Structure 1
Amino acid sequence: MTIDPEHLRMAEALLFASREPLDEAALAERLPDGADIGALLATLQDSYKARGVNLVRLAGKWCFLTAPDLAWLLEMERETTRKLSRAALETLAIIAYHQPVTRAEIEEIRGVGLSRGTMDVLFDAGWIRPRGRRRTPGRPVTYGVTEEFLIHFGLDDIKDLPGFDEMKAAGLLNLEPGSIFADLATTEEDPIIDEEEEEY
């Protein structure tokens, strides 16, 4: 099927001007009837793959980002006013790799109690959300990561999270006894399996 050059220009303009990543449905709403959205995106992605900006898919949506090898050009030295605490980072990692997960399960994996402030920081960042209630006694709330989490960390799907071997090779794992990652190797095969849960 031949791509209409005008449709291509329109899709390019929409993606360039949008402040947020756009999904295919949003593009289809704004483009003329009959526009082949998949073909347009594939063409644009190919056209921009060797340029200063690339068309990438994040969390199932599309946006232009600076080419990874040119990111250093845009780096700015600035004072960071707020960093995630170790507790928040560990909690986020547990939720990402074990979702849907309850508060009690997070505490069991970390080996310490979870303060309300730690969860609040992750909620404020927009990186976690309630997933529903587990169908077990007490019906505890389960948590998972959000679309904002995927976009912030440059992931299209939660399955794109690095595995044990990748993180170990990059030196990102603390495998000392008691570390939350010490047993990741045993759970890598199915780190993200939705258990039966009930939405609110």
Structure 2
Amino acid sequence: MSTESPLRALEAIIFAAAAPLTLADIAKHIGERGDLPHLLRDLAAAYADRGINLVERGGRWHFQTAPDLAHHLRPSREAVRKLSRAAVETLSVIAYHEPVTRPEIEEIRGVAVSGGTIDVLMEAGWIRPAGRRETPGRPLQYATTPGFLAHFNLIHRRDLPGLADLKAAGLLDREPPRELALPFSSTDD
């Protein structure tokens, strides 16, 4: 019988993982060693004031750089690429209505969605194909990614602001921004 600490084993498994892990993934590696959610909360608390944090995004656990230190890791030169208003609106529709098809996005927005808009959002890592709808024509559905949650510092999609929050912030009382800055790393010098 091993005398290793469950927290140490948990830390090692999450650290070495190539991608964020679900509770089921973690349990496969360390087995049943007590209350896994409790152990994860304990480990996250132990890392709360460190340079890296243990976080849960969309039901998956991983280590990430502490948000207040991220600026130390950015490349020295960052090219800013603007998201068009259409891309911001499309991302919003997908986030609030996922999984959603292109025709549904177009119906909600009232205009056609170009393939380029979808491509930009997929390139940013914020949306992904989410299967096909079981309707005539079997249209492709889109959903947000864990990268979307991480970029917008959300734990779950239910953390998106509601209508009352948006009104309170004054975002529904005026014209929405024409463009949203989206940082893309550039290796050009």
TM superposition score normalised by structure 1? 0.68
**Residues 1:50 and 1:132: Cα distance change in structure 2 (over 3 Å):** same
> What secondary structure is seen at the aligned counterpart in 2 of 1:80?
strand
1:41-190 correspondence runs (5 A): 41-80=40-79, 82-126=81-125, 127-133=127-133, 135=135, 140-170=139-169, 173=171, 175-176=173-174
Do the aligned residues in 2 keep the contact of 1:52 with 1:66 (CA within 8 Å)?
A: yes
Do the aligned residues in 2 keep the contact of 1:59 with 1:157 (CA within 8 Å)?
A: yes
| 1:155-175 Cα deviation digits (max 9, x unpaired) | 33211212234445556x354
| 1:74-133 Cα deviation digits (max 9, x unpaired) | 455423264433221211111111223332332233332221221222334441324432
Distance in structure 2 (CA, Å) of the matches to 1:111 and 1:21: 36
> What secondary structure is seen at the aligned counterpart in 2 of 1:22?
coil
RMSD (Å), alpha carbons: 3.1
* Residue aligning to 1:185: none
Do the aligned residues in 2 keep the contact of 1:129 with 1:146 (CA within 8 Å)?
A: no
Structure 1 residues 63-72 or 111-120, which shifts more?
Answer: 63-72
Looking at secondary structure, tell me which structure has more strand per residue. 2
> What secondary structure is seen at the aligned counterpart in 1 of 2:132?
strand
Q: Match of 2:86, as an amino acid?
A: A
TM-aligned CA deviation for residue 153 of structure 1: 3.2
TM-aligned CA deviation for residue 139 of structure 1: 5.9
**Residues 1:142 and 1:175: Cα distance change in structure 2 (over 3 Å):** farther
TM-aligned CA deviation for residue 5 of structure 1: 5.2
TM-aligned CA deviation for residue 73 of structure 1: 4.3
Distance in structure 1 (CA, Å) of the matches to 2:4 and 2:164: 44
Do the aligned residues in 2 keep the contact of 1:59 with 1:151 (CA within 8 Å)?
A: no
Tell me, which stretches of 5 or more residues in structure 2 are unaligned?
178-189
TM-aligned CA deviation for residue 44 of structure 1: 0.6
Distance in structure 2 (CA, Å) of the matches to 1:104 and 1:34: 45
| 1:9-29 Cα deviation digits (max 9, x unpaired) | 121122223342122222222
Identity of aligned residues (%): 50
Tell me, which stretches of 5 or more residues in structure 1 are unaligned?
181-200
* Residue aligning to 1:35: 33
Structure 1 residues 54-63 or 107-116, which shifts more?
Answer: 107-116
Which fold has the larger relative contact order, with Cα–Cα distance below 8 Å and residues 6 or more apart in sequence? 2
TM superposition score normalised by structure 2? 0.71
**Residues 1:131 and 1:149: Cα distance change in structure 2 (over 3 Å):** farther
